[in-house]
Chains A and B, each alone.
Chain A
Amino acid sequence: MISVYYFGAISLILIGLYAVLVKKNLLKILIGLSIMETGVNLLLISIGYVSGRSAPILSEGIGPNQAVDPIPQALVLTAIVIGVATTAMALSVAMLIYEKYGTLNIEEIRRLRG
């Protein structure tokens, strides 16, 4: 039986992928990318989860054996920053494209570019 976390995370990735593959509006594609990224982060976090344990912060009463896997969390922290940066850059590119071509439809843009 597949865990609900995995199912949800993979569903988010697939929804994002669907948007990227099918949608024609550039902003919708970027939204799809964002959703996909969220799904990936959730998937990574859920991989590190060990049932019944707490956050991996060593404090009173919580030793290394009582914490969940800390590595995916560090990974996801990095991935979130990268995701935000790429999204910001992609959005600025989308702005520039709109200024140049006056449309956000990717097929239209291809035609105008020749």
Chain B
Amino acid sequence: MSNELLIILLSPLIAGVLAWVLDIKGVRELIGLVGAAVPVAYLAKLYSTVTNEAITYSIKVSGFNLGFQLNTITWYFAAIASLVGLAMALGMVSTSKSSYDWLFALMSYTGVLGVFLSQDFVGFFLFWEIMTFASFMMVLKRNRHESLKYFVLSVIGAYSMLIAIGILYAKTGALDFATIGKVLYMDASLGTIGTGETALIFGLLLAAFGVKAGMFPLYVWAPGAYSENDQSYTAFFSGVLSKAGVYGFLLLYMLMFYKLYAALGTFHGHMTFAYIIAWLGAITVVVASFLAVLQEDIRKLFAYSSIGQVGYILLAFGIGSGLGFAGGLFHVLSHAVFKGLFWLVTAAIILRTGKTQFKDMGGLAEKMPYTFAMGMIAVLSLAGIPPMAGFASKWLIYEAAISAHMPLVAGSIFLGSALAFAYVVRFLYAVWFGQRPSDLEDVKEAPLPLLIAMTVLAIPNVLFGVAPGIVTGYINKMLGGEVVTGNYYKLVTPTGTYNALLIAIVLVIGLAIAGLVYLYGAKVRKIKVTNTYQSGNPVTEEFNLSIRKNFYRPLAEALGFWLRYSWDRFYERLAGVVEDFADTLRESSYNGNVQSYSWYLAIILLILALWGVL
């Protein structure tokens, strides 16, 4: 029994190393695929066991006892990771030509599984760093500047976590989650750990997990790292690695909930610490969604969109009610599948056209029909159109925000969703419809492995959309109570009911009617750009009416004041100031004059002498 956990954990890493060492075209792809598929198979096999009892495995490594556990919560996260991991491996068969990619992509896969399965901070931190290192290497190969940004922020996060672990160890004397949780739970009433220290641990862990999740204002690494990468790997990077941060927030709740509640108290009827998380999530949603709307590069658009969507999850966790957790956990799944799908679609587009800007795209729907269909599913799911997984999870988050009486937070979700619709519509029209640029005439459909990969991720989008009860039923098991009731097709919360099957049926009927009208009723007529009018004036050929370029410029102009502020620029300026300061310090003291060094020595000796005398 226990060996299975080890197989799940290590098979991607072993496969990655083998693929890297052998480096034979065809063989490395096969090994990589098998390595990525093994965790899926084992996790599927262990599903029925896990729902009854947790599977644990522990190993002693140089004096540390590393514990791993597969329980309802870790199974959920690991299963999502392995599903997207399999899709990533399938996609990489088409997009990646180097064994370097296989090694580090699969290494980060193992890292992520380790983070989810670890039951103590030693293993957690170890795998966290493996994951960070491997993803850093993936970015490093493509873009040094972006990788450096990712590296610096990751290091800040890692050290924050290490300090927090150190404090927790000093205070509780334990490194495993179970003991820490128990000690902190008891300390909530005893209060031996002070408010300041509790707040410090909270802040440090917030920074540590926030970096990985792309939380405001620590998200600046994400757009660069997500876009300057192998796009199939980005499906995993953005879909699953960001969930490691989300899982960290969940861990924060599991370990410190009562302690934080007792130490930090409440604010306007909400728990203070959860309130902070909720607001950081809400700000992330709004800021990232606005920035996503304004992007001119497909990859950048989805990078910002990914940050925004993870913001929803943080916000949902921040609401802190059972419904909030249910929504957040559901959104973990739906974000992983729709954003993974998006990145695979992007991979296919970039692979076949070699272009990344919206202005070079257009009319690809006829050339890549299957990819278009998959992209359509992803768009519907992200925008939250009913029979898709994205709707069910967002609906739960809305319900949670409304029933928790957080109108402003709920408002930010509404705004974020409206903006999400704005940018996916742009993706839809600019890439798939409209006039095709002449150099895209001989674009072919995406290669077969990539199509299979997209299908792997499209199925859960539709399946869990039409039958959201499958997921909420499992989430009820995770949360240990009937948070969301109903059956497979119907979700019932204290404030509302959502019948997915009914809506799906209505939608299919509606589409069928529209299709009939299109086929038999409507006259289809091709029009030129000049056939359009703008405010009563005819438009000339030169005038750019296309959705492909600067379509949301009016929005950018309206937001001009806010866009002057950028965290990216702020961090760059901060780095500049630090560098200048260090330079000045160095030049004024290290001046090349031997005599001044003698002076330093003499002064230090004098100080030491005085110190000795005093």
Q: Does A76 contact B (CB under 8 A)?
A: no
Cβ < 8 Å to B, chain A residues 39-65:
none
How large, as a class, is the contact surface on chain B?
A: under 10
Chain B residues within an 8 Å CB radius of A110: 592-593
Chain B residues within an 8 Å CB radius of A20: 595, 598
Q: Does B602 contact A (CB under 8 A)?
A: yes
Q: In the bound complex, how far is the Cα of B227 from the Cα of A70, in angstroms?
A: 74
Q: In the bound complex, how far is the Cα of B592 from the Cα of A113, in angstroms?
A: 10
Q: What total of chain A residues lie within 8 Å of the partner, measured CB to CB? A: 8
In the complex, the answer to whether B599 meets A21 with C-beta atoms within 8 Å is yes
Q: In the bound complex, how far is the Cα of B601 from the Cα of A17, in angstroms?
A: 10
Chain A residues within an 8 Å CB radius of B593: 106-107, 110
Interface string of A1-34 (1 = CB under 8 A from B): 0000000000000000100110000000100000
Interface string of B573-614 (1 = CB under 8 A from A): 000000000000000000011110011001000000000000
Q: DSSP class of B's interface residues: helix, strand, loop or mixed?
A: helix
Cβ < 8 Å to B, chain A residues 76-96:
none
Q: In the bound complex, how far is the Cα of B592 from the Cα of A107, in angstroms?
A: 10
Q: DSSP class of A's interface residues: helix, strand, loop or mixed?
A: helix
In the complex, the answer to whether A17 meets B595 with C-beta atoms within 8 Å is no
Chain B residues within an 8 Å CB radius of A29: 595
Chain A residues within an 8 Å CB radius of B592: 110, 113
A24 and chain B: residue at smallest CB distance: B595
Chain A residues within an 8 Å CB radius of B594: 106
In the complex, the answer to whether B595 meets A106 with C-beta atoms within 8 Å is yes
Q: In the bound complex, how far is the Cα of B596 from the Cα of A21, in angstroms?
A: 8
Chain B residues within an 8 Å CB radius of A17: 598, 602
Q: In the bound complex, how far is the Cα of B592 from the Cα of A110, in angstroms?
A: 8
Q: In the bound complex, how far is the Cα of B602 from the Cα of A29, in angstroms?
A: 15
A22 and chain B: residue at smallest CB distance: B595
Q: In the bound complex, how far is the Cα of B592 from the Cα of A17, in angstroms?
A: 19
Chain B residues proximal to chain A, CB less than 8 Å:
592-595, 598-599, 602
The 4 closest A-B pairs by CB, nearest first: A20-B598, A21-B598, A21-B599, A17-B602
Additional A-B contact list (13), CB under 8 Å, known A21-B595, A21-B602, A106-B595? A17-B598, A17-B602, A20-B595, A20-B598, A21-B598, A21-B599, A29-B595, A106-B593, A106-B594, A107-B593, A110-B592, A110-B593, A113-B592
Interface CB pairs A-B, < 8 A, 16: A17-B598, A17-B602, A20-B595, A20-B598, A21-B595, A21-B598, A21-B599, A21-B602, A29-B595, A106-B593, A106-B594, A106-B595, A107-B593, A110-B592, A110-B593, A113-B592
